[in-house]
Amino acid sequence: MPPLPHRSPLRPCPRPAVPGRFRARGAAFLLALLTAVRIGAAPPPASPPPSPTPPPPAFSSEVSVSWVLVPVIVRGRNGYVENLRREAFRLRVDGQPVAIRDFERRAEAPVSLVVLQDVSGSMEALGKLAASRRAISRLVTLARPGDEIALATFAGEAARVEVPFTTDHDALHEAVATWEAYGTTALHDAIARLPEIAGAARFPRRAALLITDGVDNASSISAAEARELVRRAELPVYVFGLSAGDPFRLGIDRQKLFRFADALNLLASFTGGRYYALRSSRDLAAVSAAVAEELRYQYVLSFPVTGRGESRYRRIEVDLPGREHLRVLARKGYEGRPPAR
């Protein structure tokens, strides 16, 4: 008889873990079924109590980063500068040069944009909310057919998604038209939800637009905590900071208004966006059109990070050696491990 072909020994497949409450219900059901079928049979030995279900893992805001994307805008005297090559850029992390491993000019790539609108009571003053409606409608009109936009609002509670990411401009216009001002302002809590909302985006090229007068009086977290969450999510935030109005009428001192403005400026700067301090709500429509144009002229530099080393905040610098007359706008840093060498 010819020898049987060699077969590798079968290995038992590990059973998938089943939560304790389902094991308990399954054991009870099986015991009842066997008792009903085998009347008079000796009862089976008692099964040991199910092991307790392990507690769910604690939430962590740490984001694992394998590649770092650095959106860059270059401006000259006559507007945005196009057609620069990879070799024109110099990238440094914590002062050390880093090779640009991937380089894109994303003039034609679609954008996923989150619009986060303050609809708290303070936005009713000076026609700020009405001007915001007009500005966002203008932004929607200027969006290209492939771009997707999500709308979210906030007042005294965390941000609420009014329209998930969509390319349906009619749905976006209809939602904007229904906004009314009410309640207090949980600005920092709303900002902290931006990474979650942006996580539903279809495209890697993402950004957020925040429109607010910056007066927070109801958040459960600080501006620094909210900024940290957004910064770790690799999400550039553009901020339209509207005038809050007369500090005396609002019941807050002028220095506090300055601190609100500084917090918004830091949010934009540390995430790679821009902060626009608007003295009049009439400027909103023009600035929203400028942001829509800016998103079309981005360069994206990227580099990998190593799996070893300390995970911490690292400072990013981008410049154009020999082209000091050009202005470079880029994100200021990232949270993660050091660049791969």
Domain residue limits at 138: 112-294
At 217, which CATH number? 3.40.50.410
Residues 197 and 253 grouped into a single domain: yes
Same domain, residue pair 191 and 309: no
Q: Indicate the length of the chain as a whole number.
A: 341
Q: Is residue 260 part of a domain?
A: yes
- Whether residue 201 is found in the same domain as residue 317: no
**What's residue 195's pLDDT?**
95
List the beta bridge partners of residue 238: 209
- Give residue for tokens 């400072």: 315
Contacts of 340 (CB under 8 A, 6+ apart): 303, 304, 305, 306
Does any domain span residue 76?
yes
The rounded distance, in Å, linking the Cα atoms of 238 and 235 is 10
Q: Are residues 137 and 283 in the same domain?
A: yes
Would residue 341 count as lying in a domain?
no
**Same domain membership, residue 186 and residue 245:** yes
CA distance 228 to 195: 11
| Same-domain pairing of 310 and 167 | no
Mark whether 119 and 228 lie in a shared domain.
Answer: yes
Same domain? 203 vs 269: yes
> Residue 328: inside a domain, yes or no?
yes
85: in domain: yes
Over the chain (341 residues), the average pLDDT of each successive run of 10 is 44 41 39 34 46 39 64 91 94 97 82 96 90 94 92 93 97 96 95 96 92 90 92 89 59 66 89 86 86 86 89 93 94 88 82
The burial of 315, by beta-carbon neighbours within 10 Å (0-12 exposed, 13-18 middle, 19 or more buried), is given as exposed
| Domains in the chain, number | 2
Residue 12 within a domain: no
Q: Are residues 254 and 116 in the same domain?
A: yes
Q: Are residues 157 and 249 in the same domain?
A: yes
Centre a 10 Å sphere on the Cβ of residue 102 and count the other Cβ atoms it contains.
12
Among the listed residues 301, 279, 242, the one whose alpha carbon sits nearest the alpha carbon of residue 93: 301
Q: What is the pLDDT of residue 41?
A: 39
Strand partners, 305: 339
* Residue from 243, 252, 218 nearest 125 by CA: 243
Assess whether 144 and 282 both reside in one domain.
Answer: yes
| CA distance linking residue 332 with residue 266, whole number of Å | 10
Fill in the amino acid letter for 243.
Answer: S
241 and 331 part of one domain: no
